[in-house]
Chain A
Amino acid sequence: MACSAHHEGKFQPSLARLKIVRYDDIGLDVPNVCGPCETAPCVDICPVYAMRRDPITKMTYLDDDKCILCKSCVGVCVNGVILLDTVQMRIIKCDHCDGDPECAKACPTGAITYGPTASLASVDRHGKIISYLKEISRTNKAEEVSGAE
């Protein structure tokens, strides 16, 4: 929401440049933000070279002037954070707020961070999620064996 408030001047999560995936059933929220990407499919697929990646930060940037709205990047993004705004006909993509992103400032728990250590945080997060899912499947198996509900 902070994202659309900053970029659009209104509150419209459907135009946010990030995507929070919520799993209510297992109590897990995964914030998907743009980058840093080890391999950047959006850069590779863009037919007009409108997308580029900073070799050091591994963050990708879109040049709106070059964009021909072919939507290739929308389909190929693994995080699902590139969108086509069909009202104003433009690609909606995170521009990293010039290195000081609103989403990270708004996040109360530090789940979204920005900086050289960002990849470390995401590794931690993945580790936590994996161990958590393992625990769930372990108990599900135990339930199957015992027949308990």
Chain B
Amino acid sequence: MARGYMGKFLRVNLTDGIFNVEPLPTSWIKDFIGGDGFGAKLLFTEVPGRIDSLSDKNKLIIATGPITGTMWPMSGRTVFISKAPLTGIWGESHVGGFLGAELKYAGYDLLVIEGKSEKPVYIYIEDSDLQIRDAQQLWGLTTDKLTGAIKKIHQDPDIQVAAIGPAGERLVRYASVMVNHARAAGRTGMGAVLGSKNVKGIAIRGHGAVEVHDHSTFMELAKEAHSRVRSNPQARQMGKYGTWVLTAVKQEIGELPTYNHQTGVFDGWEKLSGDYIRPRYTVADRACFGCSLGCKKVNYVRDGPFAGTLEEGPEYEGLMAFGSSLGIDDYATTLKANQICNRYGMDIISAGATIGFAIEAFVKGVITTKDTGGLKLSWGDREQIIDLLQMIADRKGFGNLLAEGSKRAAETLGRGTEKFAIHVKGMEVSGQDGRTHRSIALGHATGARGADHLRSLVVVDQLGYEDVAASRWGADKLPEIIDPYTEKYKANAVFESENAYCIRDTLIVCWYSVSWPPIFWMEDFARMLPSVTGESYLGKVENLTKIAERQVTLKRLFNAREGITKKDDQLPDRFTKEPMPEGPGKGQTVDLAPMLKDYYTLRGWDLETGLPTKETVKRLSLEWTKVHSE
């Protein structure tokens, strides 16, 4: 077994109440590296097509990579993989914190949860001590209380807990899994998968060691990498303000989603920017496992209706989802919303976007107080929005409908409300706007889990890093490739970024070390990987590219099995037909077709159906998928 791995994966069958420790197949390492890749392979083989995401046939995989638990900067990430309750297709959600490293110290690379428990339980893993423990007393607790309770039961403050809140228990379609109190595996509804299996939490404690192939070389590379993180000017900004820096940048290029993505500029943006927030609210900086950057901020509200709120976050996406997107120019409200989302376990992006959908439909007179159960919705009504969020968590009244996500809610309401549901493949669009940032339009349309800003978001054009673009993609593609308002070369940028991010997701390292700020890229990983694993095959960029392509195509095949084709790679009409009404990108719309064509060509997918061609499947040695594809 190559080093860096623990060489084992742990399987929990809840139906029978048994654990199984299985060896990690060595052949997986060259083909998939780890993390996301292992998860994709396992989920594709073991979960049959077209099952209900919330049935006992679905499985939840928690995966780590070869560098998880080592000194490599920002390697404290973990991924939750399952068939997504929100979209019914490929679902994954990455989370920071300390959980993944602890799982490896306990001796396992992956944890697979299958079946369904009859009564509420939590899973307890301490090295080789494996237990499925009763959680009837813990059912209904918020995630912070649950984490505290489990630590108390086992008398160990160092236990790492992945918890679901009441929203996950009630199967809110975008329920999250919470780690370390405020780190959320938010998107696609992984919390609902655990909820459907009656699993309240996963507690992990490990005392073992992670060993790498060549310790001294790896330590040298890791130390150099740490100093690169610390000396990078954008990273230092990020350490100070977190992702709040983005608010100002997005306002400048007209990409700050406002009033449910109707426009890209927001009058009250200054109150949602880092310069404004940090001196007024921030009380502490925090970091995930092994991070030199430390983008997490603990904030405290001193006055106003939400005085006394003490909570970590929200990041830019939270500011957008409960700030500009709902017409609120008040940080305290977004912090309160973030607190509810953390405690009850919900994805803040989807929650905000679903509320935005409801408000727009109400304000435009399509739905009335009859639909909302008497609520008069309006933009910027802070208290009411917080109340509505609580109703979603409790699945009460109108909140019960919104807990299904904007796509399902629009289908139920009908009357043309579909056009206010800003989603791709069922997942709500994150805090970007394709009209004024063309590469993300393609990213949203083609993302394996729906409208996704984490699988292929190109920030080089968005933030105008000319030198980075030149070194990554060649100076001949300038200036078009960094012009956020043109379609040209955007498929190239998305293709290559998506490949690099795939490697990032297999290792697993944090988003913020790869794309924004742009510190590491493929060649850095290729240099580091042989010293960890001892596999020289992983030391070449072209091999890593092939692994990444394999993974993207494998996820595509997974989605194809669920019925996804080219017709689903579309954007909401808002981005393609309604021109940007104001701001620097005034009049812009997305022309998706040429970008899609370029992208399919680069991926080796059929231009008519959008599905991987036979040659591509063969080239990436994915023929085995056929057996599982009926």
State the A residues within 8 Å of B (CB).
1-2, 4-5, 8-15, 21-22, 24-29, 106, 108-109, 132, 135-136, 139-140, 142-143, 148
Contact = CB atoms under 8 A, between A and B. Distances in A.
Given A5-B215, A21-B157, A139-B308, A14 B207 contact: yes
10 tightest A-B contacts by CB?
A: A27-B298, A12-B209, A24-B181, A14-B207, A108-B292, A10-B209, A139-B308, A11-B210, A10-B211, A27-B284
Nearest to A24: B181
Given A24-B182, A25-B144, A109-B294, A14 B310 contact: no
Nearest to B67: A11
A11 B182 contact: no
B1 interface: no
B286 interface: yes
Interface string B408-448: 00000000000000000000000000000000000000000
B546 interface: no
A12 B308 contact: no
Contacts of B298: 26-27
Contact of A25 (B148, B226, B300): B148
B484 interface: no
Contact of A108 (B147, B206, B230, B284): B230
B292 A5 contact: no
B65 interface: no
A1 B283 contact: no
Contact of B210 (A10, A136, A140): A10
Interface string B279-292: 00001111100111
B71 interface: yes
B70 interface: yes
B207 A11 contact: no
18 contacts: A4-B209, A8-B209, A9-B215, A10-B210, A11-B70, A11-B209, A11-B210, A12-B210, A13-B105, A14-B208, A24-B180, A24-B182, A27-B312, A29-B286, A108-B294, A135-B300, A140-B308, A142-B307
A79 B101 CA distance: 24
B219 interface: yes
A108 B231 CA distance: 11
Contacts of A4: 209
A22 B287 CA distance: 11
Given A11-B209, A109-B294, A27 B308 contact: no
Contact of B308 (A25, A29, A143): A143
A14 B210 CA distance: 11
B69 interface: yes
A4 B211 CA distance: 11
Interface string B96-127: 00000100010000000000000000000000
A108 B105 CA distance: 23
Given A14-B207, A14-B208, A22-B157, 8 more contacts: A1-B290, A5-B219, A11-B69, A11-B70, A11-B71, A14-B105, A15-B209, A148-B308
A101 B209 CA distance: 21
A57 B479 CA distance: 59
A13 B70 CA distance: 10
A132 B180 CA distance: 20
Nearest to B183: A24
Nearest to B284: A27
Contacts of A10: 209-212, 215
Contacts of B210: 10-12
Nearest to A27: B298
Nearest to B145: A25
A29 B208 CA distance: 23
Contacts of B144: 24-25
A2 B71 CA distance: 7
A12 B307 CA distance: 41
A12 B283 contact: no
B145 to A, nearest CB: 10
Nearest to A107: B292
Interface in B255-277: none
Given A24-B181, A108-B226, A5 B71 contact: yes
Contact of B105 (A12, A27, A132, A142): A12
Most chain B C-beta atoms within 10 Å of own C-beta, residue among A27, A132, A135, A148: A27
B147 A106 contact: no
Contacts of B307: 139, 142
Contacts of A142: 307-308
Contacts of A24: 144, 147, 180-182, 312
A48 B101 CA distance: 38
B383 to A, nearest CB: 12
Nearest to A109: B294
Contacts of B206: 14
A122 B292 CA distance: 21
Contacts of A1: 70-71, 290
Contacts of A28: 284
A1 B182 CA distance: 23
B310 A26 contact: yes
Contacts of A26: 298, 310
A126 to B, nearest CB: 15
Contacts of A148: 308
A1 B229 CA distance: 18
Most chain B C-beta atoms within 10 Å of own C-beta, residue among A8, A11, A12, A29: A11
B374 to A, nearest CB: 23
Nearest to A6: B219
A12 B212 CA distance: 12
A148 B386 CA distance: 15
A27 B335 CA distance: 14
